[in-house]
Every structure is written in structure tokens, then in C-alpha cells.
Structure 1
Amino acid sequence: MPASFLHGVEVIEVPNGPVPVTVVKSAVIGLVGTAPSWAVESPSVAVAPNTPALVSSALDAAKFGPIVQGYSIPYALAAIQAQGAGQAIVVNVFNPSIHFTAIAATAFSFNAQGAINLGHMGVSNVVVTSNPAGTTYVAGTDYTLDAVNGAITMVPTGSGGHITAGASVLIAFHYADPSKVADADIIGAITGGVYTGMQAFQTTYGTMGFFPKILIAPGYSQDAAVATEIDTMANTIRAMALVDSPPSTAVETAIANRGVVGNAFATSSSRTILCYPQETFYDTGIVPTGVTLSTSGTPVTAQFNANSVGPYSQWVAGAIAAKDLAQGYWWSPSNTQVDGMLGPDVTLYASILDPASDTNNLNAAGIVTVFNAFGTGLRVWGNRSAEYPASTAPDNFISVRRTMDIIEESLELAMLQFIDQPISNALITAILASANAFIRSLIQRGALVAGAASFDPAENPYTQIAAGQLVFDIDVMPPPPAERITFEAFIDVTLLQQLGQTSPITAAAGATS
């Protein structure tokens, strides 16, 4: 504000003109599920339940614990990172103080090494008493507890312990049980300003500066309730929700489920990607009931080391993120090779030549599937969201919908610096210049075929401007994917006229004459 009196000269700097538009992050996966937080090597770095955490590396992934069967997050992070790129915002809903199974006082006997294997990993609330009951033993004085591996070692009487060698004791305990996690835990809620489950994704712009754009809940999104809510969240934060089919679902059942009310596939949302089928993979996960004791009494974990079946969405999400970074968010995820899978858990007939193939029938029903033919490797196959075939609008293409999301959110965020400025021709010009510069850059990169921003006075009557409101038009067209390539072949008999006119025999005869 100018001084009330000045006998001299001053300069007041007034910001004006266009500003750059920063493109929002597209290759960020929102992963909600379960993690064995009780097994994190350094408990001090473990992520608290329902707290969003950014995972950009294997070191970050370690904060959610090792790959243990029954827990979805470590498996999903391994599948995502196998694609070579992409970040994930992870929400672990597993809480061992809530999700556990209680074992009543059960008789155990110490072995020759003075150890007991409880048969479960991730134990808590351990109470050791004499058998028959009467004396309650004290942890640290009478025994030591390996809570991660579920092993108890007696303290010798010569070291102050009160348990005799080979004694039988009664032990009651809880063990971490991910099967106790319900759909409601994954969906989450907002209670007293606390966000849990997938609702916590709404807080990430405030804490990290961006929202996840590819939402997955492997192992849970096959349930209709979770599928519905993850789509709702996708609409809230402008993301795509990846929904799975149950294991061992036949092709015809997956297609039929598109019309079964109450089924996860019964949706026409432009923000839901239907992922079918589930995939086999080599499972090196730790078996939580497989711990044994060595001859010295030391716990030894067991890895499954055999084929298992997992939700397809976790690999598709990784492939989308990796392709975003390598080529751009305007590229379709279809025809992208996927690493870390062994193949679908049902037999699929894949062909780009036969309209009656399983892969084509699935795509025609708006289902993204997996393609495998001679020399192709396993590939994401399908361009369209669940909006197809109910709608044939261009945004049923996954890449078109995602491109529009990026454009819209990027422009909205860039306009923050213009909000509350005095309305003038200079302001309108600056906003248009900013938007059009952004659109031109997208055209040059190939993210748009064409487009422009404009200001129509007819849409901005003086009464509306007097209320502090401006309306601009954005006309753009993202490039649709080349889903179908057709050649028209003709047998042209007139081409036979060329025979003999320039043949080697004719040419040789002319040379000798």
C-alpha cells in the first residue's frame, strides 16, 4: 500500500502475466492392506497402523516387514517394484492389538534345549504359569520371549529362573492374525478428525503434496463393498481404482459377473479398472506357522517356496506406474509386459487375430486381462475401464480418463496463485496465457492431439463477474490408443499385366539383338 505521504519516488512491484503449470504426479500407487508390523527388523522405523507412508525403494518397503503369508502389503510392494519404477503411498490397517487370535492356557513342555515353540509368529500377551496352574512365571526372570518367532526359552535355575528343566507349563497368548481384518478396516472411516483405511488417502496432499492416482487393495477389492468404496475414493481424489476377480474364476463367469448386482465387477464407472484373472507366482513368503527349533533351540523360519496365486491388480498397478514414467500417462497400460508373474490361474486363449478369443471377449466386456502368446511374455491387455460397454464416450479409454485427470488437477492447482486477485483484463489474459502454454506443451509432448483454453463473454455476464466468478473453457483431445488396426486387402488381377514386361529374359533378349 502506498505511503500516505511521500516527497520522492518509489517502485511497487506488481506480479503479472502467465505462470507455469506444474504437472501433478501420475505414477503414484495408493496401496491399502495388511503388513506384519510385528516382524519389522527395526521396530523404531515401523509405520503405525492407518498412517500413510511413501515407499520409493526396497529400504522403504522394509518398514512394512518381510513377505509373510497372509499379509498383502509386502507381496504387493514386491509385485510393484518388480516392474522397475513407481512410488506407493501405503496404508497398513493391520493392528496386532486388535487383529489377533487368543489361545487359552495350553500345556507345553520345554525341550532338551529349554525352549518351547508356540507354533505361531507374532505373539503377544503371553502368560506362562505352572502346570497345574498356581505359579505365574515372570518374563525376563524365568523365561525369555522371542515374540516375532513365537519361541520361549527358560532361564536356568542357576541363573535365577524358577522353571525346572523339561517342565510342563501352561501358556496363554495372542498371535497376530491377518484373517481378522475385515472389509470395514480396509474401507476405513473418518472419526473425530482421524482418517483410517483408504480414507487416509485424502490426507496425503496435505502431508506429501500429492494424491495417489492408482488405487489398489489386493485381496480385498474382489469384495463388492471394498470395490464400491475404492471407486468412491477414486472419484474423490481423481484416481483409478483397480478391482480384482476372485481366484479360479472362469472366463464366462467373469464376463457374466458384469451383470450380477452386488458383484465387484457389476459397475460402469469410468474410474474402475477390472483386473482378471488372478495370477500364479513363485511364493517365497515366510510361513507364520512353520517355525521350527534347531538342535540348539534357535527358531528357524520356513519359506513357502512354491507357486501361489495372487491378485492381478498389484502387477497391473506396477506396470501402469512404470509406463507412466517411461513413456507418459497418456499411454495406455495395454500391451505392457509384466514381470514377476508365472501366468493366469485359469487357462486363457489369447489371440490378436480371433475375435472369439478369451482375451478379446474379456476386453469387449470392459475387463482388462493378461495376454500371452508365442514370444510375447505376459502382458497387460485391455484399454478400457468398466465404463465400457455401457458408455462409448472417449473417456472409457483408461489413458484418456487419466490424461484428463492430470490436466484438470494440474490447472486447478496452478490457479491458486490467481485466486482472490482483482478481476481485470490483465488477470483474464494471464490465466488464459498460463493455461494455453500448458496445453501447448502437452501437444508437443504427445499427451494431446489438440486443444486450447478460451474465455467466452457470453458465459461471463457482468452479474456473475460482480459475484467474483470467472468461467473459462478448456477444449482438449487426448490421443486414443490404436486398439484396432485394419488392412483392406484386394486381389487385383490387373497387376498381372506386369508379367513379362521387365523380366530378365526379355531384358537379355533385347541386349543380344
Structure 2
Amino acid sequence: MAYKHQITVSESETSVLAPVEAAAGLPVYFGTAPIHLTEDPSAYVNKPVLAYSYEEAVKALGFHSDWDNFTLCEAIKAQFQLFNVAPAVFVNVLDPTIHNESVTDSTITISSGKYMIRVDGVLLPSLVVKLTAAGQALVKNTDYTVVFDATGHPVISRVDGGTIPENQASLVVSYDKLTPSKVTDAQIIGGVESGTGKVTGLELINKIFPLYRLVPGQIVVPKHSKKPAVAAVMKAKSVGINSLFKAMAIADIDSSPTGAAVYTAAPAWKNSNNFSDPHLVACYLKPKMGEEIYNLSVQYAALNSKVIADSGDTPYVSPSNKSLQANAMVNEAGEEISLGMDQAAFLNGEGIVTAINFTGGWMLWGNNTSTYPANSDVKDRWIPVRQMFNWIGNTLVLTHHQKVDTPTNRRLIDTVVDSTNIWLNGLTAQGAILGGRVEFRAADNPDTALLDGKVMYRLFLAAPVPAENIEFKLEFDVAYLQNLFAA
């Protein structure tokens, strides 16, 4: 070592780690989008789209009022316009190369100087325009221009100097159009294609974190989540994201005539279709706002995201008794159903979330995950407690991943214990937990485990449960009769 006669400064690693917090309520929506309205209909097929605004989502995926066929539009509207909360991730499974049909030599007539194709889902790259069925194809931007109108229908206009005569009464068009009805539950569920390794459908939940460094908090599949096969995969995916993270699956109970059209049938439907899991929220009935009808799972996810954001991005507050965007609740047939407090409580007691119209308007109503009443464990039963356990676990993974493969010595142990306890103390001061601590115990770390490179910490915490039943007991106090004789 060189001889030194000076002041020397060096740096050592910080012994307390700042927490890397997981996005607590990030919703990931799976469904179909009107991609024919976008610049490149093939650009976002089975590719997660992260959006922070309505404009950003619509530019990538398009927007259409036909929510039955284009289910992601409902989620875009709820997320960014009804509840104004961001970000969200959208996964479109509608593939123009698979879910399409061809229309050949269809005649369209002129109206107010324009030729309109009154069909949804037209894929403009496939459009062929002719003067007659036997004629030659006209040239876009030379003979005609084409744009979508506000309803999503293509409007063709003649170009001055082009081939189309001024008095041309009709044109003949051929095109391919999207057929969202061809999307199957199996394609929503997705998987990994053999040979190509292409990932599709719900399997893409594992791509969110590698792409965006955001941890999914909620998995939502508008319209399709009432299918038991889809809900089963949603449940499975919610507890093994990247083999590390946990989320909540938000699903709808079928309220059609073949499902649970009346509220008393909902618990039996839930149980017979295996809608029971600590990580699954079961929603019943559909919010109606004006002429628009939403799936409750969609408004639940957007509302829950807003409640979490308003709580310091910490999911300890229940979304129950918070305002929905609705002026009625309906079943699948569109029949209005207004549940009384006792009827809604009956559903809540069966692990079902619904809505009531009380003093503040239409409110989400219910704190139990779908595992209740079969499982009454406090960490599994209550939605906000389950969310806190998910979020704390996800945050621990992100924060301490940097310590994997470091030497197992006292410095490592103290750093993890001290950092985590400081973080838990902060959550306690915030009111997000009632208390918490982490311990490194000899009993949890036998020599055989330590020699095998396995280190275990035990974390104790108590998250606040929702004050679901507040009682006032009234009593007549005769002593106040003396006030009759006061001067």
C-alpha cells in the first residue's frame, strides 16, 4: 500500500434501503378494440398498451360505442373519463388476420356528394373501390379519398380530376371487416404458441413488468369474465405474475336469464361456477349511466384505482361505499334492479360486491373477496387487507431484489431488517397498517437452510379492517328530566 499523508474520503454502501414501491392498483384490461380505426390495425394485437390518457389509449386502440363487440372501449371510457385515473394497461386480442370476413362487390350509393359504407369494422388497407363490378380498381388519393366518420363508417369522396364522374350514382366496393364475434374464450385465455413462442391473451400478464417496470394490481376482462373458464385463469394468473407478484382478479357474475337474473340466485351461481378465491372479487349487476351500460368489474377497477391513488398509492382503503358513475343498476337483460340495504348485505355476506343507491347516490357496496364465507381468514376475506398483503409482498420483492446473491452476513441481515422496519413504521404513521415488524429468527434459519443459500425473514403486520358494521346504542337518560326545572 502506498504511503499516504493526506485526507482520504471513501464511500460505503447505504445500510438502509429506500423502498421501491409497487403500483398498488394498476388495472390490466383484456378484450377487443376497434383497431380498424387506427393507423395500423395490426400494431397492437396481443401487445400490452400502457396509457396515461384517453387520447393515448384511443390513438393506439381506437374507440367505438359498440362495447359488446369492442370491450376495451368501455374500460377506456371508465378509466380516463368517468374516474380520471391513470395509468392503465390494455391488451387487445382481436386479430385482423384471424377475426375477419370478406365482402365482395357491394354497391354503395351517393348521398350528399359522399359514398358511405354503412358497416362497422372495415379494414381500410383491404378496401378496393371500382366504378362497376367488372371495372378496374380505382386509386386511393388519386381517384378518391376515404376517412371514417364519427360512427366508425368509411366515407368515400371523389377527387376532382380523378376517374369518378361527377354524376356517378354508385360505386362498387370490396373489403375485409373485423368480426369480434369470432373471438373465443380460448383466445382471451391465450397461452404460448408452440414453435413460434408467441404469447397471447391472459398469458401476457407476465409481460407487463418486463415491458414497463409496473406491477399489475388488478386483472379485468370485460364481458368475458363471467365465463367460469376465463375467471379460473384470471384467478390462477393473479397469484403467480412473473412467479413473484400478486394481484386481484375482478370478475362479473352472470346476471342474464340463464345466470342469476335475480339477486337471490347470485350466491348459488357463484358457488356452482367456482367464483371463490381470496384473490377474486365477484361483482353483481351492471351500472347504467345514461344510455351506456357498464360491467361492474370495469367500474370497480377504475374506482379502486382512484381510491388507492387518493390514499397515497397505498391500498388500505376499501372501495366500498365510494361513488360509482351510474344512475341505475341493471341485469344483463337491461332490467333495472335497485337492491335495498338488507338485500345488498345478503350478497355481501356471500362474498359478492354490488351497488346500492343511498344518501350519496349509487355506491359500490361490499368489502369481502369471493372466498367469503367459506374462508374467513382476515387476510383473505377483506378486500383492502388482501390488497395490502399483495402490495407489501410485491414491494418487498422489488426493494430487496438487489440483495439477492450478496454474502449472507450480519450486514445483510441488519440492512434488510432495519430498512423494512423503517418502512413499516412509516406505513403505521400513515395509518395504512396498525403496526408491523420484521424479524430474523434462528428457528426459521437452520444450518441446513443457510448452507443451502436460503435466508428467511418473518414479517408481522396488522392492516386495518373496514368498519363494516357501526352500531349506536340509544338509551333514555331520566336524569335529563331535571332540565325541565332549570331556570
Which TM-score tier does this pair reach, normalised by the shorter chain? Answer: 0.7 to 0.9
**Mapped pair 1:274 → 2:282:** yes
Aligned twin of 2:163: 161
Flag the structure with larger Rg. 1
Contact between 1:281 and 1:308, CA under 8 Å: does it hold in 2? yes
Partner Cα distance (2:479, 2:20) in 1: 62
**Mapped pair 1:258 → 2:255:** no
Change (3 A) 1:53 1:170: closer
Compute the TM-score of the two structures, normalised by the length of structure 2: 0.86
Contact between 1:130 and 1:170, CA under 8 Å: does it hold in 2? yes
**Mapped pair 1:17 → 2:45:** no
Contact between 1:31 and 1:216, CA under 8 Å: does it hold in 2? yes
**Mapped pair 1:228 → 2:232:** yes
CA positional deviation for 1:185: 2.5
**Mapped pair 1:62 → 2:58:** yes
The residue correspondences of 1:239-388 to structure 2 (distance < 5 A) are 239-248=247-256, 249-260=261-272, 263=273, 266-282=274-290, 307-327=291-311, 328-340=314-326, 342-345=328-331, 346-351=336-341, 357-373=342-358, 375-388=359-372
The residue correspondences of 1:60-209 to structure 2 (distance < 5 A) are 60-63=56-59, 64-69=61-66, 70-81=69-80, 82-106=82-106, 108=107, 110-111=109-110, 115-124=114-123, 125-128=126-129, 133-140=133-140, 143-146=144-147, 149-153=153-157, 159-161=161-163, 165-166=167-168, 170-191=172-193, 192-209=196-213
Q: CA offsets per residue over residues 274-320 of structure 1, 9 Å max, x none?
A: 111012223xxxxxxxxxxxxxxxxxxxxxxxx24221111111110
Change (3 A) 1:126 1:77: closer
Aligned twin of 1:217: 221
Partner Cα distance (1:273, 1:378) in 2: 19
CA positional deviation for 1:433: 0.6
Contact between 2:131 and 2:164, CA under 8 Å: does it hold in 1? no
The count of residues paired between Structure 1 and Structure 2 equals: 458
Contact between 1:139 and 1:145, CA under 8 Å: does it hold in 2? no
Change (3 A) 1:160 1:39: closer
Query: What percentage of aligned pairs have identical amino acids?
Result: 26
Compute the TM-score of the two structures, normalised by the length of structure 1: 0.82
Q: Which amino acid aligns with 1:19?
A: L
Contact between 2:75 and 2:298, CA under 8 Å: does it hold in 1? yes
Q: Which amino acid aligns with 2:229?
A: A
**Mapped pair 1:421 → 2:389:** no
Q: Which amino acid aligns with 1:438?
A: W
Change (3 A) 1:62 1:258: closer
Partner Cα distance (2:323, 2:480) in 1: 45
Change (3 A) 1:167 1:318: closer
Partner Cα distance (1:115, 1:488) in 2: 73
Contact between 1:242 and 1:275, CA under 8 Å: does it hold in 2? yes
CA RMSD of aligned residues (A): 2.7
Partner Cα distance (2:338, 2:367) in 1: 18
